[in-house]
Amino acid sequence: MSTTFQLDTSTSRANPTPQPMKRLTVPKLRARKVDGRVEEPLVMLTAYTARQAQLLDAHCDMLLVGDSLGQVIYGLPSTIPVTLDMMANHAAAVVRGSYHSVVVCDMPFGSYEQSPQQAFENAATLLKQSGAAAVKLEGGKAMAETIEFLVNRGIPVMGHVGLTPQAVNVLGGYMARGRSDSEAEKIVGDAKALDEAGAFAIVIEGVVEPIAIEATEAVSAPTIGIGASAKCDGQVLVTEDMLGMFERVPRFVKKYGDIASTIEQTAAKYASEVRTRSFPGPEQTYQPKSD
C-alpha cells in the first residue's frame, strides 16, 4: 500500500510556501555533472526541522538531514549515539517543510555496516517513514558493495569519503585527511569505488585541497565539499555553524551570520520587559467586549 505525504496547513505555524516549486530529483542532480564538471556548483545545507527547511529550501539544491543533529539538536558528544528513529522523525519534518530541494537522510552509525541486507532494510525504513529521496552513508571501498546493492534495489545513495565522523574513534580525531601519500591515494581510490558502485554524489570532507580536486576530477558523480576545495562540484555546511549559532566551529566553516548574539539579545529584552511588567502590553492583552 502506498503512502501519500501531505501537510495539514490548517493550524500549523510552519505552513508551506503559497506557491510550491517543483522538487528537484536525484537524476537531475546527477546529470548536472557533464564531461567531468558542473557548470553551476550544487548548494547543500543541513536541516533538521520543518521551519528550517522552509527557510533554506528555495536557496538549496539539496537539504541534508545529517546525523550531526546528535550534537546540534540533542547535545550529544558525537554522532555515534544517533538512532534510526531520530533520523526518520527529523527527515519527515524536513520533507514536510520543503518543496524544491532533494532531501537526503544520513544513515546513523550501526545501521548499515553489518551487511548490504541490513543496510537495505534500514535505508528502506528511513525512506518509507520520512519521504526523503535518498540516503547518505560513510565509508570508502568497504562500502562499495553495499552502495551497489542499495542502488540496484531502487535506493539512491550519496557517498562520503575523507574525514568520516562516524569513524572518529578509529581515525583518532577530526584532523584533515590526505596529507600523506598513502592516505591521499586511499581517498581518491575510495571516491572512485563509490562512483563505480553507483553513488549519485559523493561528500568529500576534511581533505587537503589538491586531493579533493584530484578526487573530483576522477569521478563522474558530483562531489560535495566540506572542508575540501571550492573546486568540488558543490558545497555543504552545517546550517547552525554557518549561521553563527556556536562560538566554536571547524576551521573550514565561514560564519555568514551571528544568530547566537541575536537570540541572546532578544531573550534579554524579553526578560527585561517581563520583569518590569511592560510585557504584555495593551496590544497583547485581551479585554472584555463592551456591550
> Which grid coordinates are listed for 133?
529521496
Residue 59: CB atoms within 10 Å: 10
Q: What is the 3-state secondary structure (H, E, C) of 218-269?
A: HCCCCEEEECCCCCCCEEEECHHHHHCCCCCCCCCCCCCCCHHHHHHHHHHH
Give the helix ranges, DSSP H, for 106-200.
Answer: 116-130, 144-151, 168-171, 181-197
What interhelical angle do 181-197 and 209-218 show, nearest 10? 30
Number of Cα atoms under 13 Å in the Cβ half of residue 6: 6
Does the annotation list 180 as a binding residue? no
Phi, psi of 192 (to 5 degrees): -60, -40
Whole-number Å distance between alpha carbons of 102 and 121: 21
* 205 tagged catalytic: yes
Does the annotation list 113 as a binding residue? no
To the nearest 10°, the Cα dihedral for 254, 208, 103, 93? -50
What interhelical angle do 84-96 and 116-130 show, nearest 10? 40
Does the annotation list 61 as a binding residue? no
Does the annotation list 111 as a binding residue? no
Does the annotation list 136 as a binding residue? yes
Whole-number Å distance between alpha carbons of 87 and 40: 30
CB 47 within 8 A of CB 239: yes
The one catalytic residue among 148, 205, 240, 264:
205
Catalytic residues: 205
Annotated binding site for Mg(2+): 67, 106, 138
Annotated binding site for 3-methyl-2-oxobutanoate: 67-68, 106, 136
